[in-house]
């Protein structure tokens, strides 16, 4: 960050990789490398708002794209224009070959039951019971 020294008015660089220089409401002490006088500076963080058209909010169609989520069963469709998101429809789950959240837990439960009957298996089982999904061995 370039600033002008308040004494000699020469330009000097303040190391902006130091996170402490972003502290607001405090006086940061600095020594000018040119005239070797000490001065203080305060930091003001400013926000910039960037407007963009969102036709989908004005009778247009949302431009949905699938989010990259792990596990993939938790993927959502997010509109590129307005940022709103929704669950995948059944058709989309079939099209992209993505199971439901429940199927993820079912898969996990079966996996852990096969490999060890540890905590994750119990977590999955509890989740399935809460969702009233019948899981029979
Ligand atoms: Zn100076
Ligand atoms: Zn939209």
pLDDT-based confidence at 136, cuts 50/70/90? very low
**Cα(58)–Cα(50) distance, rounded to whole angstroms?**
18
Ligand 2 centroid vs 85 CA: distance in angstroms? 8
Mean pLDDT of 34-49: 94
Cα gap 87→30, rounded to integer Å: 52
Report CA(27)–ligand 2 centroid distance (Å): 44
Give the pLDDT confidence score for residue 131 in this predicted structure: 65
The Cα 106–Cα 123 span in angstroms is: 11
**CA–CA distance, 12 with 110 (Å, rounded to integer):** 63
Percent of the residues in the chain that have a pLDDT greater than 70, as a whole number: 89
Q: What are phi and psi of 104, to 5 degrees?
A: -65, -45
Length of the chain: 137
Whole-number Å distance, alpha carbon 31 to ligand 1 midpoint, is: 8
Between the CA of 3 and the centroid of ligand 2 the distance, in Å, is 42
Q: Is the pTM of this model over 0.75?
A: no
Reported confidence tier of residue 110, pLDDT bands at 50, 70, 90: confident
Ligand nearest to C-alpha 37:
1
Say how many Å lie between the CA of residue 45 and the centre of ligand 1.
Answer: 24
Residue 49 alpha carbon to ligand 2 centre in Å: 19
What is the token pair recorded at 21? 């220089």
Contact in structure between 82 and 61 (CB atoms under 8 Å): no
Least distant ligand from the CA of 35: 1
- β-sheet bridge partners, residue 66: 77
**pLDDT tens digits along 65-106:** 999 888 899 999 999 999 999 999 999 999 989 998 888 888
């Amino acid at each position: 960050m370039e600033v002008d020294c308040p004494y000699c008015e020469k330009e000097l660089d303040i190391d902006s990789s130091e996170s402490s220089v972003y502290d607001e409401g405090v006086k940061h002490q600095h020594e000018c490398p040119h005239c070797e006088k000490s001065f203080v500076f305060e930091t003001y963080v400013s926000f910039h708002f960037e407007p963009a058209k969102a036709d989908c909010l004005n009778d247009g169609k949302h431009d949905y794209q699938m989010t990259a989520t792990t596990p993939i069963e938790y993927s959502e469709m997010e509109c590129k224009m307005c940022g709103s998101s929704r669950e995948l429809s059944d058709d989309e789950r079939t099209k992209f070959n993505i199971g439901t959240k429940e199927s993820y837990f079912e898969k996990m439960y079966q996996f852990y039951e096969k490999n060890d009957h540890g905590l994750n298996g119990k977590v999955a089982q509890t989740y399935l019971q809460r969702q009233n999904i019948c899981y029979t061995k």
